[in-house]
């Protein structure tokens, strides 16, 4: 169960995604619109694993991230930004492809061992509400081994015998595969 806190984020997720897309060669140009996200659970409960989907121009981009409460040793090149979370404090945001906790979760998902996390919103008034994920992830195919590869631009999906496919009201696409 992914616990989401009703909180203020600085930068916002839209600002984070826009800055990240501006910094990568595949990120396109123009205004960014958030589509939604999905999460996986860290079995140890320490690392937030979330992927965001956003449109820019005619493209839909997949941005897999991890949120940590301290820097990840040896991953300076994978640091996307730091973020202030009004409930949890300072967060280090990484490209999930370089975070071993996220890679393990995606590997287990691609082997059919885990599904995406269910969502639970903890509100400021103390109430807790279940939330339907805006993006649904399903497994297609199977593979005994391979390395996780991520799709960035859904128009140019990765391939493999086992694939994770994200779906939302206006579309779907392969987001990761065992290659």
* Residue 152 structure tokens: 């960035």
**pLDDT (0 to 100) of residue 5:** 52
Q: Determine how many CB atoms are found less than 10 A away from the CB of residue 125.
A: 6
Locus of tokens 């079995």: 43
26-83 tens-digit pLDDT:
999 999 999 999 999 999 989 999 999 999 999 999 999 999 999 999 999 999 999 9
| Distance of alpha carbon 51 from alpha carbon 74, whole angstroms | 22
Q: Determine how many CB atoms are found less than 10 A away from the CB of residue 147.
A: 11
**pLDDT (0 to 100) of residue 7:** 60
Question: How long a stretch of residues is the chain?
Answer: 179
| Cα–Cα separations (whole angstroms), residue 54 to 30, 90, 179 | 12, 24, 24
**pLDDT (0 to 100) of residue 136:** 97
| Distance of alpha carbon 110 from alpha carbon 55, whole angstroms | 25
81-119 tens-digit pLDDT:
999 876 777 999 999 999 999 999 999 999 999 999 988
- Which helix (H) or strand (E) segment holds residue 108: the answer is helix 100-110
| Distance of alpha carbon 117 from alpha carbon 130, whole angstroms | 12
Do the beta carbons of residue 128 and residue 48 sit within 8 Å? Answer: no
């Amino acid at each position: 169960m992914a616990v989401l806190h009703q909180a203020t984020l600085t930068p916002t997720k839209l600002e984070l995604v826009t800055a990240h897309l501006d910094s990568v060669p595949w990120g396109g140009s123009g205004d960014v619109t958030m589509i939604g996200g999905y999460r996986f659970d860290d079995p140890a409960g320490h690392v937030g694993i979330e992927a965001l989907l956003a449109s820019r121009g005619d493209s839909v981009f997949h941005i897999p991230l991890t949120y940590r409460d301290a820097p990840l040793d040896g991953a300076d090149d994978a640091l996307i930004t730091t973020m202030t979370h009004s409930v949890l404090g300072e967060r280090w945001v990484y490209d999930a492809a370089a975070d071993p906790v996220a890679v393990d979760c995606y590997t287990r998902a691609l082997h059919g061992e885990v599904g995406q996390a269910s969502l639970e919103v903890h509100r400021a008034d103390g109430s807790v509400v279940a939330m339907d994920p805006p993006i649904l992830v399903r497994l297609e195919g199977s593979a005994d081994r391979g390395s996780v590869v991520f799709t960035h631009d859904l128009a140019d999906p990765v391939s493999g015998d086992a694939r994770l496919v994200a779906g939302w009201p206006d579309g779907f696409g392969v987001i990761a595969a065992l290659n």
